[in-house]
Amino acid sequence: MDAEQKELKDKVVAAIKTVFDPEIPVDVYELGLIYEINFFPVNNVHVLMTLTSPSCPAAEEIPGDVEKAVKQVEGINDVQVELTFDPPFTQDMMSEAAKLELGFL
């Protein structure tokens, strides 16, 4: 990954960090819901993510919010968000900051 791609990825991550699960006061990136961020030619982005549960009440909102946030990043051409439940989400996927915020540390 060259410096330009790294800078773009940092901007994409920052955009994703503006998306929160409405029931949890931690952004979806720190929660560990983002499994992969891949870039393809002409700055197309593919985000592979999960939710805290398949029955999450915000299941329809969160992936759309992630897509909208990433599309706002200057230089991004197109965004595809793919939802998966394999592997299923566990608390081990959370960052230290998320665990601290939620009182798990």
Six-digit token pair at 68?
């909208």
Quick check: is 105 in a domain?
no
Name all contacts of 3-6 with Cβ < 8 Å and 24+ positions apart: 5/39
Quick check: is 61 in a domain?
yes
**Percentage of residues of the chain with pLDDT beyond 70:** 99
Mean per-residue pLDDT of the chain: 93
pLDDT digits (tens, 9 = 90+) for 29-62: 999 999 999 999 988 999 999 998 888 788 889 9
CATH number at residue 21: 3.30.300.130
The residue among 95, 75, 81 whose CA lies nearest residue 16 is 81
Q: What's the whole-model pTM score? A: 0.92
Quick check: is 101 in a domain?
no
Quick check: is 104 in a domain?
no
**DSSP symbol at 77:** -
**pLDDT tier at 28 (50, 70, 90 boundaries)?**
very high
Quick check: is 99 in a domain?
no
What range defines the domain where residue 8 resides?
Answer: 3-90
Quick check: is 98 in a domain?
no
Quick check: is 96 in a domain?
no
CA dist., res. 40 & res. 30, Å (int): 24
Quick check: is 77 in a domain?
yes
User: What is the tally of structural domains in the chain?
Assistant: 1
